[in-house]
Amino acid sequence: MTQELNDGLPAREGALALIDAALSRRGGLDEAASANAFRFLEPRERAFARALAMAALRHLGPIDRALAGKLAKEPPPRVRNLLRLGATQAFFLEVPAFAAVATSVELANANKASRPFKGLVNAVLRGLLRDGALSDAAEHLAPPWLYARWVGAWGKDTADAVAAQIGFEPATDLSLKPGADAAALAAELEGEILPGGTLRTERRGDVSAWPAFEDGVWWVQDAAAAIPARLLRLQPGETALDLCAAPGGKTLQLAAAGARTVAVDRSAARLVRVTENLARLNLTAEVVAADAGAWEDERTFDAVLLDAPCSATGTFRRHPDVLWAARPGDVASLAVVQSRLLDSAAGRLSLGGRLVYCVCSLEPEEGEAQVEAFLARRPDMALDPIASEEGGAPAASLTARGTLRILPHHREGGLDGFFAARFVKAAP
């Protein structure tokens, strides 16, 4: 093996750590980024390791499908991940086939648990290369159980259109402060302004080095994630409550709209980022670390935004690990939490106030079903239908009920999957 290939081994070891964390449900990629195998890498190596892990997760379905035909029995987890890593390099990244195989064999040899399998790694990867390209069928990109749910909810054509988005690396979306020169920023970042005002750019790299970051003009927020806060139609001086607020993009929207904003989240650690972003953008909000369902505060608000904990299956474009870490039982258990939080949110709303409920989930139990159950048990709450394209939402996302079911293929270039509904509080 050449010295050049040896130099790439630490980055590949870092990618292995990321993949293992993502698939073992131990905090996912964000937590793995603090592991020694990743955090001590040079910046260029970290970037390669993350790109390699993300590519592996985006194409995990086709890769595992191909590996199933080459493995007589299940290998140890490190060995399977080495095979995934090698296949990713060979088929989805611009890595020469010989380097993809050689580095995978060398990584197998470097660990006593995988050393006895280095021959297997070599043989399987060479076999895949002889077979040629992996499956490009959209249905093979998603876990079978999730794909079956999507077919049941929307039919095969729509399920295929959603699943096809899994394999694409997304652009970066930015929300701008009111008054920002959107056209000038779009020109500087070589981007475009989407309906609703989101700026989309294909630029990559450290966002903190991008134009106007230090000036506090914008923050990173997916185009779909920016829509729910706009649906509140806030007026300056109104009171607004953001429940389950971290990481804080929606809090920034409420504060930037001129609302007197309170942001509540149970994670004090995650609220640190909210506070930092408020300071960078020169915005003000009251930040509270508390369980949104049990928070003891008697204030009521003109507008409440509840971005509830969910299966997050709609975020797979930026977080493909969510698809493979999710389990069928997660949806039902999270639906119970969402119901509790919805009732808490309604209780904190002033008479005539607006409540927007949203989840970054593709699953009907976390969206449409929650709306119907909530209305059935809360006679004081009425559905306030959303208008077509309101808040920058794609026209295709509006349901007959007046809610939003945003699917990742509803906008060219993709966007996160979201569900959103708006309610108004009337006299009981």
CA 243 centroid distance within chain: 18
Count of CB atoms situated within 10 Å of the CB of 124: 24
In the block, which residue shows the tokens 């008054």? 179
- Left (φ > 0), alpha (ψ -120 to 50) or beta: where does 264 sit? beta
Task: Give the angle subtended at the CA of 200 by the CAs of 246 and 281, to the nearest 5°.
Answer: 45
Q: What is the amino acid identity at position 116?
A: P
Q: How far apart are CA 336 and CA 108, in angstroms?
A: 44
C-alpha distances in angstroms, 129 versus 125, 146, 208, 264, 362? 6, 29, 40, 51, 35
C-alpha distances in angstroms, 421 versus 28, 109, 132, 371, 414? 29, 54, 46, 7, 21
For the purposes of burial, counting CB atoms within 10 Å of the CB of 407, is it exposed (0-12), middle (13-18) or buried (19 or more)? buried
360 is catalytic: yes
Q: How far apart are CA 91 and CA 64, in angstroms?
A: 13
Closest to 266 measured CA to CA, from 230, 308, 224, 229: 308
- Catalytic residue positions, numbered: 360
